[in-house]
Amino acid sequence: MTNTRLFIALAFTCAPVLPAAAQIPAPPRAPSPPRVDVRIPPEPSQAPELPEPPAPPPVIWTDATWPDLSFDFDFDYAELPDFAELARISTDIKIATQDLLAQGPYKGPPLPPVRIGPFGKVGGSPDALYDQARGYIDRDQYDRALEVLDRLVGDGGLRADAAMYWKAYSLSKIARRSDALTTIADMQKRYANSPWIRDARFLEAELRQASGQAVTSDDEDIKLLALSGLMRSDSETALPMIEKLLSGNDNLRVKDRALFVASQSRTPKGRELITNVAKGSTNPDLKMSAIKYLGRMSGPESLQALDEVYRGTSDQSVKRTILRSFMEARAKDRLLSVAKSETNAELRGEAVQQLGAMRAGAELEELYRNESSVEVKKRILQALFVANATDKLGPIARTEKDPELRRTAIHQLGISNRSDAAETLVAIYNSDASLETRKAVIEALGMHRNATALINLARAEKNTELKTDMVRRLSTMRSQEARDYMLELLK
């Protein structure tokens, strides 16, 4: 899926859950085209045509019955795993809201909004919010960055000390020097042992040297432009200067950009410089940037350096970043090795997700057979969908003994676009009498908008609860077949 098509799909799928007021009206029916009656008039003995069935009374959703569809919804154009997750979540929301709104308007209090931003990542985790704030800072949108940073500082989580540094930096860039100094002082009291303290002191000194004037980006930009030009013309001279700058007292944004300039050299000396930062930097952000640049540089030496950093750290955030860099470098063998040998289930799951982004369907199928963790197996099933290896979901859904995993496989089949998925789902329905499994199959067939399969199952189903669920889903489908079945039920 291209960036443009995904963004358009997102705008369409999320539109129903963006309430402008306390009431969300049901979507209007499209006007029916004029009907041309070309039938022979019935003989008097024939039964008249059945009238349109009366509309069912609307269901009034309240805050107690409306499901929780609120979350922070940001995504990164550059990261394929987030694209895949975005598509999956968008599909779920579209189907859920279509079904709900077709049954009646919402008349509870205003729903929490779904925020859509073009530069963060899926979800509202501290890491996602932090990346969003850094994106705003890189584009000089300091007021917007401060809104996100204040949220992180208020939460007091793992990213709070870093957020305070960038808050002070952003305040300095919009001429609020006094507030920036106050933020740094507060940070030093609250996080005296933070790895960000050293950089905060450099920033404090820079602010005090400004003699009451706002710090501008002109000097930073000039310095970085000069470095970039020197790198293109004489990298042997530029790299030692960058190395000296990285160990000096320049602010972190200048260091990060200088590191990027170094990554453009593609020379052994440049790779060595970035590797040293990845292995030894005391600043977490600079370390993460170095890891990302190594992934983009690719090559066996860069991959080996990333592998050494992975084996030598216990920081899960660093390890996750390395796994994403492996994906970007197309290092499938490295990811597969981690997925097989990593003792931490969360990191195995991360490796699995990156393999999905690389379309490693055969490798994921092998991992599924040998994996013991139910949670990791769930992520493998999701990764198979991302990898467009949905042909492997059918056999798993038919043979998996664990009910939870079987339902997960059924759900992934439901959100796939495989034309033969309905046949597999119906076979599972007929072979498994479990209520939960059958409900999962009904949901999956509803996602496919497969009226034929649902009608055939409904006609044979004796369980009232299951049949009601199928009829409810059919009632939201705009198909002649579903309409005819509704008329059949009214006879």
* 278 pLDDT more than 80: yes
Identify the pLDDT of residue 367: 92
**449 - beta bridge partners?**
none
pLDDT tens digit sequence for 293-322: 888 887 888 899 899 999 988 888 889 999
d(Cα 335, Cα 233) in Å, to the nearest integer? Answer: 37
d(Cα 308, Cα 325) in Å, to the nearest integer? Answer: 13
* 120 pLDDT more than 60: no
pLDDT bucket at 219, cuts 50 / 70 / 90? low
Identify the pLDDT of residue 256: 85
* 145 pLDDT more than 50: yes
Identify the helix (H) or strand (E) that includes residue 350. Answer: helix 345-357
% of the chain residues with pLDDT over 90: 16
Q: Output the six-digit token pair for 247.
A: 């160990």
* 357 pLDDT more than 60: yes
* 2 pLDDT more than 50: no
* 334 pLDDT more than 90: yes
Mean pLDDT of the region 354-367 = 91
> In 45-159, at which residue ranges do the beta strands (DSSP E only) sit?
72-74, 115-117
CB-based contacts of 298: which residues, under 8 Å, 6+ apart?
Answer: 329, 330
Amino acid residing at 133: A
Mean pLDDT of the region 74-79 = 37
Q: Are 462 and 449 in contact (CB under 8 A)?
A: no
pLDDT bucket at 57, cuts 50 / 70 / 90? very low
Give residue 132's Cα distance to chain centre.
Answer: 13
Q: Are 279 and 308 in contact (CB under 8 A)?
A: yes
3-state class (DSSP) for residue 54:
coil
Q: Return the higher-pLDDT residue of 98 and 453.
A: 453
* 95 pLDDT more than 70: no
Q: Are 357 and 369 in contact (CB under 8 A)?
A: no
d(Cα 154, Cα 489) in Å, to the nearest integer? Answer: 57
In the chain, what is the straight-line distance between the N-terminal and C-terminal CA atoms, in Å?
46
* 436 pLDDT more than 80: yes
Q: What is the DSSP letter of 324?
A: H
Count CB neighbours of 192 within 10 A: 9
pLDDT tens digit sequence for 158-176: 888 889 999 999 998 888 8
d(Cα 143, Cα 147) in Å, to the nearest integer? Answer: 7
pLDDT bucket at 132, cuts 50 / 70 / 90? confident
Give residue 86's Cα distance to chain centre.
Answer: 5
d(Cα 245, Cα 233) in Å, to the nearest integer? Answer: 19
Mean pLDDT of the region 84-110 = 49
Q: Return the higher-pLDDT residue of 101 and 168.
A: 168
Identify the pLDDT of residue 378: 92
* Torsion sign across C-alpha atoms 378, 384, 385, 390: negative
Q: Are 86 and 10 in contact (CB under 8 A)?
A: yes
* 85 pLDDT more than 90: no
* 55 pLDDT more than 70: no
Q: Return the higher-pLDDT residue of 337 and 43.
A: 337
Catalogue all structural domains in the chain, each as residue range(s) with its CATH number: 126-209 (1.25.40.10), 393-491 (1.25.10.10)
Q: Which of 313, 339, 312 is CA-nearest to residue 326?
A: 339
- Largest Cα separation within the chain, whole Å, is 100
Q: Out of 9-23, 208-222, 397-411, pick the least confident.
A: 9-23
Scan for tokens 């490796």, then name that residue: 351
Report the chain's mean pLDDT, rounded to a whole number.
75
Identify the pLDDT of residue 220: 63
* Torsion sign across C-alpha atoms 229, 232, 236, 242: positive
* 212 pLDDT more than 60: no
Count CB neighbours of 141 within 10 A: 14
* 118 pLDDT more than 50: no
Q: Are 73 and 121 in contact (CB under 8 A)?
A: no
